[in-house]
């Protein structure tokens, strides 16, 4: 059993490489495995066959020598005997040595030029009842098949011949070299085929990967070609269908978003218009009427010094005066005239003053604007600050607050800060708390953004950035919402 850990480690490495490398690796491993198997088997088969052949040759050469050396030995013709030994060697390149031993065990003739090796004589002997006897001798230069054949049944001596395996080794080397060359050639072809194959196979996959990345970035126009009629082709088709669906859904979403924005813009514009109308009505008509009433009551109060209803008139005048104050207050909160007439800076100063007087929390106001801003931007900033201050009063338990507005380049930055209890900005406050949501919507409708930073026990800062469109002249602000 292969340990699981080893398999995991193997897959961690093999799995991480590209498909191209995987296929190349598999092809190479198979070719090398096949090549090694064939080489080992061929070498084994060749060795066995050649060993058997060499042994046979050894016997036949020895018997031949034994037969032909009988006469020279009997005639004691050492010269012919030497010639015979030389001939034996010359006739068969495998013959490493040959020698003749007399019945007393003395070497009569031999082929060794550098002296007869000690010990060789005793390494092989033939029994009188044997035709021949072969032993395998291991030497420094390889194996030697040594065969001893009795001459005239051993009565005149023994012929010994040694055949070396040099030719076998040479044949083995040639075979191995040829097989290695074949392996290299087959590997090269295999690699070439694998490269072509992976190129063909991975091209559509790479195209899919690239298209998927594009889709992930929001480009739904990408389509991949169907390369072949196989599974990858099916995948490409499914992918194209999916992107089409996504594009369609995205378009619907965009349309809805645009519609929602339009509606919201319209709602906000209508709301501001209506507020402006009611505020004007309250100021121009209701306040005027109340003022006339006040004046009338005062005249009544002074004229009838002895009247019984004098104190009644005085009471009524106080009620009318309080109502007038309340109407002023209401009109202010609905839509301060200063926002239309004097601009954002004046309106914010006024808002801060009244807020401070009402909630008894000091507010610091810093406004760095040297010109009027477009009407919609002024209204949006005013309403955001208004809501932010309301939140500070309702939730923060702050000791102080500050408002900061500045225009730098073409961006208006607004910061409303308090040193109150803070809150969790990541929490979802649900449908009933729409203040923060409305603030963000107003900023985003004008292409701006709203960021909230809040630290428990340290306070809350609300940052609003609204870009000013270049073509708009900040001094002319006719389109008001």
Which positions lie near ligand ADP, rule CB under 6 A?
391-392, 394-396, 418, 420-423, 429, 433-436, 460
Q: What is the x/- site pattern for Mg ion, positions 355-394, by CB under 5 A?
A: ------------------------------------x---
Query: From the list ligand ADP, Mg ion, none, which binds 392 (C-beta under 5 to 8 Å, kind-based)?
Result: ligand ADP
Chain-centroid distance, C-alpha 431: 39
Nearer to ligand ADP, 98 or 396 (CB): 396
| CB of 466 closer than 8 Å to CB of 448 | yes
**Coil/strand/helix, residue 454:** strand
Q: How far is the CB of 363 from ligand ADP (least distance, A)?
A: 13
Pick from 35, 233, 296, 435 the residue near Mg ion by CB under 5 A: 435
Q: Which does 358 bind (CB under 5 to 8 A by kind): ligand ADP, Mg ion, none?
A: none
Nearer to Mg ion, 61 or 396 (CB): 396
Site for Mg ion contains 438 (CB under 5 A): no
Sequence-ordered list of residues with C-beta below 8 angstroms from that of 45, at least 6 positions apart, any chain: none
- Under the binding rule (CB under 5 A), the answer on residue 35 touching Mg ion is no
Q: Look up residue 41 and give its two tokens.
A: 């088997």
Question: Does residue 474 touch Mg ion according to CB under 5 A?
Answer: no
Residues 389-408, one symbol each (x = binds Mg ion by CB under 5 A, - = not), give --x-----------------
Check residue 164 for interaction with Mg ion (CB under 5 A).
Answer: no
User: What Cα–Cα distance (Å) separates residue 98 from each residue in 62, 76, 122, 301, 462?
Assistant: 8, 18, 15, 163, 111
DSSP string, 338-354: HHHHT-HHHHHHHHHHH
- Residue found by looking up tokens 């006719």 in the block: 478
Least distance from Mg ion to the Cβ atom of residue 387, Å: 6
Which is closer to Mg ion, CB of 391 or CB of 414?
391
The dihedral built from the CA positions of residue 71, 156, 122 and 119, taken in this order, carries a sign that is negative
Closest CA to 148 of 140, 139, 157: 157
Q: Where are the beta strands (DSSP E) in 25-68?
A: none
Strand-pair category, 401-408 with 363-368 = parallel
Q: If you ran DSSP here, which 8-state letter would residue 122 be given?
A: G
Taking the complex as a whole, the smallest distance from the CB of residue 315 to Mg ion amounts, in Å, to 38
Nearer to Mg ion, 35 or 435 (CB): 435
Q: Which residue is nearest to Mg ion (CB)?
A: 435
- For residue 374, the partner it binds in Mg ion, ligand ADP, none, with Cβ less than 5 to 8 A by kind, is none
Work out whether strand 401-408 and strand 411-418 pair parallel, antiparallel, or are unpaired: antiparallel
Q: Facing residues of 161 across strands?
A: 98, 147
- CB-wise, 280 or 395, nearer to Mg ion? 395
Q: How many residues bind Mg ion (CB under 5 A)?
A: 2
Q: Output the smallest distance, CB 404 to ligand ADP, in A.
A: 15
Instruction: Say which residue the tokens 């401070």 belong to.
Output: 356
Residue with smallest beta-carbon separation from ligand ADP: 435
What, of ligand ADP, Mg ion, none, does residue 421 touch, CB below 5 to 8 Å by kind?
Answer: ligand ADP
How far apart CA 403 and CA 77 sit, in angstroms, is 135
Helices (H), 282-416: 287-303, 310-334, 337-341, 344-359, 375-391
How near is the Cβ of 453 to ligand ADP at its closest, in Å?
11
Binding stretches for Mg ion (CB under 5 A): 391, 435
């Amino acid at each position: 059993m292969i340990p699981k850990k080893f398999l995991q480690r193997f897959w961690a490495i093999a799995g991480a490489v590209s498909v191209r490398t995987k296929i190349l690796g598999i092809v190479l491993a198979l070719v090398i495995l096949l090549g090694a198997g064939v080489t080992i088997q061929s070498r084994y088969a060749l060795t066995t066959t050649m060993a058997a052949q060499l042994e046979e040759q050894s016997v036949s050469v020895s018997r031949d020598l034994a037969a032909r050396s009988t006469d020279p030995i009997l005639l004691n013709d050492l010269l012919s005997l030497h010639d015979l030994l030389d001939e034996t060697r010359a006739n068969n390149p495998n013959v490493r040595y040959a020698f003749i031993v007399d019945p007393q065990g003395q070497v009569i003739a031999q082929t060794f030029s550098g002296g007869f090796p000690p010990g060789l004589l005793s390494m092989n002997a033939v029994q009188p009842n044997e035709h021949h006897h072969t032993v395998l001798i291991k030497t420094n230069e390889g194996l030697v098949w040594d065969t001893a054949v009795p001459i005239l049944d051993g009565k005149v001596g023994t012929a010994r011949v040694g055949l070396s395996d040099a030719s076998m080794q040479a044949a083995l080397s040639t075979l191995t070299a040829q097989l290695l060359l074949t392996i290299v050639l087959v590997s090269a072809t295999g690699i070439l085929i694998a490269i072509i194959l992976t190129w063909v196979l991975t091209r559509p996959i790479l195209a899919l990967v690239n298209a998927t990345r594009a889709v992930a970035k929001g480009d739904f126009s990408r389509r991949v070609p169907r390369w072949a009629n196989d599974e990858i082709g099916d995948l490409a088709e499914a992918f194209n269908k999916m992107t089409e669906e996504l594009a369609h859904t995205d378009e619907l979403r965009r349309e809805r978003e645009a519609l929602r924005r339009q509606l919201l813009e319209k709602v906000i514009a209508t709301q501001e218009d209506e507020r402006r109308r009611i505020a004007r009505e309250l100021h121009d008509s209701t306040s005027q009427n109340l003022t006339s009433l006040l004046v009338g009551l005062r005249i009544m109060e002074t004229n009838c010094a002895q009247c019984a209803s004098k104190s009644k008139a005085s009471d009524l005048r106080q009620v009318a005066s309080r109502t007038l104050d309340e109407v002023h207050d209401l009109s202010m909160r609905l839509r301060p005239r200063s926002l239309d007439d004097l601009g954002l800076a004046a309106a914010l100063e006024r808002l801060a003053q009244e807020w401070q007087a009402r909630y008894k929390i000091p507010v610091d106001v810093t406004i760095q604007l040297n010109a009027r801003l477009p009407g919609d931007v002024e209204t949006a900033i005013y309403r955001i600050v208004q809501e932010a201050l309301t939140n500070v009063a309702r939730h923060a338990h702050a000791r102080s607050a500050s408002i900061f507005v500045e225009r730098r380049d073409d961006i208006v930055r607004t910061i409303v800060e308090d040193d109150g209890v803070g809150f969790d900005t990541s929490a979802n406050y649900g449908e009933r708390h729409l203040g923060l949501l409305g603030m963000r919507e107003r900023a985003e409708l004008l292409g701006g953004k709203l960021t909230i930073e809040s630290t428990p026990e340290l306070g809350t800062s609300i940052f609003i950035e609204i870009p000013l469109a270049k073509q708009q002249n900040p001094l002319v602000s006719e389109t008001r919402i």
